Chain A
Amino acid sequence: MAVHPAAGSGLVVPGYERPSGIHPPLDFAGYRSTALRAPRRPLALLPHRLTEITGPLLGAERVTPRDADLTAQHEGEPQGQRIIVTGRVLDSDGRPVPDTLVEIWQPNAAGRYRHRADNHPAPIDPNFTGAGRCLTGSDGRYRFVTIKPGSYPWENHPNAWRPAHIHFSLFGRAFTQRLVTQMFFPGDPLFSQDPIFNSVPEAARERLISRFDLDLTVPAWALGFTWDIVLRGRGGTAFEHPDGER
């Protein structure tokens, strides 16, 4: 396809949807750390051009099978409730996102992160690092074996505790689809006092909560939780190749 500096050059670039009412606002008073970090000026609208509709396609060289089993990264097994966490990475048009890197990190069963800045007086588990990664399959599916993370206190407000969660990092296929989020567990009593969870508009909050799945649960071994992740799609507009070139 010829590209030349004139209108109607024929360069067709698929725009991704621009969601509203789904992501949290950057400035959210209940979460104190936003006060000095959230930009104060309005964001400048950036139309989707070539840099935004492409993105890193990071491949299998970044991942070994052991990376998806957080209970098998040390000599012994970690303490805690063994769980399986699986689901599909989809775009909002309903298409699976295959071969995309999924990265997770979490605290141990006692709610302690393996990080020098975590001073919560809960035990470190020598058999748990808390980092995992995998690539999605052709159907967009990811799967981790880990232990259920503990809740932990933080200093945001008096007697503040984070609901149990696993951090997720997703690339999708395009810069516009990049997403870092957190997966929660059903029925957590700490939701109501957590400003990070509640920063999400109410209608979209439940999308962050995984579902207990008895079919996924392995008898006498591990509980199963299912959580699908939906990245921005093209708003139902199929990507066109007018010249059939690819």
Chain B
Amino acid sequence: MSGGLTPSQTVGPFLEIGLPWLDGPFVVPEGTTGAITITGQVFDGAGDPVTDALVETWQADTDGRFAHPDDPRGAAAPGFRGFGRCPTGPDGSYRIVTLKPGALPSPDGETEAPHLDVSVFARGLLDRVVTRIYFPDEAQANAADPALASIADPARAATLIARPDPGPARLRFDIHLQGDQETVFFDV
């Protein structure tokens, strides 16, 4: 049933007026023990940086829990925002400072590897596109992850795994909206 569901529309080129927050990129404050910085660029099908996008992330805490009443295990104690938001800059780059989430139990009895859900909004996207960020130091957990396993082509699945970036506690995750390196996007 649709119940009069409201259709999506593009954020357009001027989302910067309404959506960014000063503390948006900081899921946890910079300098928090264990904090990691995920940076990357958003690219279009011509390989040009997308300079007017917004990247949002949502994730569990370090124990794999959510401060949310619909978590059937019971809500975790509040305190971890879990949500990050960063507009892309003139070079198409974004940055999220956060903690690595824990693994998650799944309704089908499998275990989901640590991951962030990601939404990308931009002019030219009539609806958000959704992807996931997985971690390069979780090879075993990634191999058992049901969402990664659903991507038959290993080269495609690899687009979902962040790369180590020079510097301490830094990861890189580029998002290719189109092209040979097109990121895997999910129908949620």
Contacts and interface: CB of A to CB of B under 8 A. Distances in A.
Interface string A91-109: 1111000000001110100
A120 to B, nearest CB: 11
Which applies to chain B's interface (DSSP): helix, strand, loop or mixed?
A: loop
A31 B126 contact: yes
Given A37-B44, A199-B126, A167 B178 contact: no
A31 B6 CA distance: 20
Interface string B31-68: 00000000000001110101010001011100000111
Interface string B125-162: 11111100000000000000011001100000000000
Q: On chain A, which size bracket covers the interface? A: 35 or more
Contacts of B150: 44-46
Contact of B18 (A51, A167, A200, A229): A167
Given A3-B105, A44-B150, A51 B8 contact: no
Size category, B interface: 35 or more
Contact of A103 (B3, B19, B45): B19
Contact of B124 (A4, A7, A34, A179): A34
A23 B127 contact: yes
Contacts of A49: 104, 106-107, 112, 146-147
Contacts of A19: 2, 5
Contacts of A43: 185-187
A44 B151 contact: yes
A36 B58 contact: no
Nearest to A10: B72
Given A92-B1, A93-B3, A208-B6, A56 B82 contact: yes
Given A28-B126, A51-B117, A178-B119, A236 B1 contact: yes
B17 A129 contact: yes
Interface in B59-104: 59-60, 66-74, 81-83, 104
A129 B117 CA distance: 31
Given A37-B177, A246-B74, 5 more contacts: A4-B105, A175-B188, A207-B4, A207-B5, A230-B4
